[in-house]
Structure 1
Amino acid sequence: MRALTWHGKRDVRVETLPDPEIVNPRDIIVRVTSTAICGSDLHLYHGMIPAMMPGDVLGHEFMGEVVEVGRGNTSLKKGDRVVVPFVIACGACFHCRKLQYSSCENSNPADTADLPETVYGHQTAGLFGYSHLTGGYAGGQAELVRVPYSDVGPIVVPEDLTDDEVLFLSDILPTGWMAAENCQIEEGDTVAVWGCGPVGLFAIQSALLMGASQVIAIDHMPTRLELAQRLGAKVIDFSSADVYSALLDMTGGIGPDAVIDAVGMESHGFAFDNIVDYAKQMLMLESDRPSALRQAIFACRAGGRVSIPGVYGGFVDKFPIGAVMEKGLTIRSGQTHVQKYLPRLLDMIREKKIDTTFLISHRMPLEDAAEAYRMFSDEPDTTTKVVLKT
């Protein structure tokens, strides 16, 4: 099969690899029809996530046709068209029974489990195509993928929906939805969203569907700000406005009721703290750049809620814990419990309550994946989302 492999910072290659095989009875093999490049994939592309190995197959947003089914899987059959969650979950452990699928105790193999325990204190769930911290599973930017625990998660989608309409159920749509859900939105709330990338845009859409009276989007890229406006958000261009002052003006001086950091570990901009973070990263004194998160915490009103869907991988400096405590903020974060949200979100897509296709700027063949990564990294304003076709 053909697959996209990682070989170092900004070095990804489409190569020929052996076809995957059934390993465990609950496995399936999926022939990928569509797969996407996620903003989180850029953290790998930029060399920000540890425990990557040359030859690792990338990609965690994918869907396709079931072509082989393990003998222990009775929920799927050959020919089923499925979207596969990026989180791998067993469905039976303590966390899965609580619908906390991204904390599954069994899907991260024992030979890699010590890595997340060392870095994070506890084991994390396995993820497709996302380093050996999360199991070292081959990802979905490939012609074929082995899907473990496939009776928990992959959702059969109807033929009347196109790939483009349902592909983002694999990650970014439920991630945006969970980000908004974590805001515990009440009637009349104002929600501010840092970052108008794919997750930020779906968080905006979700917050409005959940009843937010005002959503304010913060970014500096014209196309992304325009997309946010189309969804119904008010916008702040951080390159030409003081974000904190603007948010106070737009909320009667109180600040947003809830804030969402959809930026994560690679904040951009020329704020002094972000410049310092860049320097510390170069000196390996800090792993992540949390400038957007700092802004969000300072801007959030007292007693407000902070939601963090943006990916962070290690340690940050100058975290404003005093502001969190003194203002009584609630922080909620985590990898998305994708399986929990799939049935409801699929229904909302079928009912035309949620549109996902507006986000796609490019459709390219898998063979052009290396160029697609370069575009997504270097031309983010015009490359809002790339879908790769196999």
Structure 2
Amino acid sequence: MNTPATAPVTRTARLEQVDALRGFALFGILMVNIWAFADPYYASASSNPDYTSATDHLIRWLVSTFFEAKFYLLFSFLFGYSFTLQMASAERAAEPFVPRMLRRQLAMLGIGLVHGLLLFDGEILSLYALLGLLLLGLRGLSAASASRLALILLSCAGLLIIALGAGLLSLGAYTGAAGDEPLLKAAALGGSALQTLEFNAGHWLETLLALWLLQGPSTLAMFLLGYVAGRKELLVAPFSFAQRTAQWLAISLPIGLGGAMLYAYWAAFFPGAGLEVIGYGISQLTAPLLTVSYGLLLLNLFQSDLGQRLCRRLAPLGRMSLSNYLLQSLLLNLLFSGYGLGLVNRVAPPWIPLLVIALYLLQMQLSAHWLRHHQYGPCEWLLRAITLGAWPNWRKVTKA
């Protein structure tokens, strides 16, 4: 292991493009997570028998193709990138980095555990918290070594999943059966708040283990790639890769999109067994390329006048990404579970994307309003207080 490199000193206290990318990632995360609340058959071995029209299948196919397993990768990459910003912050403050990061990750773990038990059994904060500790231990890797380890993680995870799917096919498992689990979920989320709470708490550990197995390696890989990008300041404009963007897109976009379309097709028509598992494995290999394509396209757009305005609208969402992620779970619970209206399995698929857009625009307005008067989002403020061991200013300090 090489000697840790000095953390780069950023050119600005906060990179607006990084915040904007994170805000964009929140849209994709919401587009995926809403189905875990709205459709009790989501991620099960069977399609929902209540919504079987061609339009219903098309909506689910589009979501699987363009959103599933893409945006948590972007969020993970930006987590790794922000890790280097934390290093730079500690260096500017002349404070030891490791104690600060340990406090930060343990605080995130606590928030994640509460989130998973109360609101969403598929939460990812606890995974980020623990893998962030691994990244802390790996921060001494050279950029080349970190990149190689990331590629090994992505390749091995994808190939192992494909092998598992091939094994299922050899046993004749072309499709699966969901059993009673979707019905139990529909009853729990459509019942009382206590039933919803019991369901979340009862499934949290099982879902967390599944996330570790299915998303853990790719999440750590994107942490590492984001860390490398942060050390090289790749997201500081003017972008050093701008001249090669078209070449990279010509490779990453068709391969990433092809793998996503194949996975979405098998997930829609052969759910719960060998073909879907193989498709997910292929997606693990190709989804990072589609994620890269999204990032490159958006960064290129940010250089135009229209893109700069979009960047300024997305950035507040990204600056409050933790608060907005938790708010999404709260809003979805209020709409679909026993905590609120109990609309689980009562909203047809074509309405789901429209609802996502409405909720996202609401979060955009709330974030911009909050940051006019506060330096940090409420959860970011708490996380920063624990990280620094001091109370930051709650409201913005106005100059006399």
User: Shorter-chain TM-score: what band?
Assistant: under 0.3
Larger fraction in strand: 1
TM-score (norm 2): 0.26
TM-score (norm 1): 0.27
Higher RCO structure (Cα 8 Å, ≥6 apart): 2
Larger fraction in helix: 2
Whichever of the two has the greater Rg, that structure is 2
